Amino acid sequence: MKIQILGSGCPKCKLLEEKVRESVDELGIKAEVVKVTDMEEILDMGVMMTPALAIDGDVKSVGKVLSIDQVIEKIKETM
Model's pTM, two decimal places? 0.95
- Residue 38 has a pLDDT of 96
Residue 50, exposed/middle/buried by CB under 10 A (0-12, 13-18, 19+)? buried
- Residue 11 has a pLDDT of 96
Task: Write down the catalytic residue from 1, 2, 9, 10.
Answer: 10
Q: What is the pLDDT of residues 5-63, one digit of tens each?
A: 999 989 999 999 999 999 999 999 999 999 999 999 999 999 999 999 999 999 999 99
User: Known catalytic residue: 13?
Assistant: yes
Asked whether the beta carbons of 45 and 54 are under 8 A apart, the reply is: yes
Domains of the chain: 2-71 (3.40.30.10)
Task: Write down the catalytic residue from 13, 24, 36, 72.
Answer: 13
- Residue 41 has a pLDDT of 97
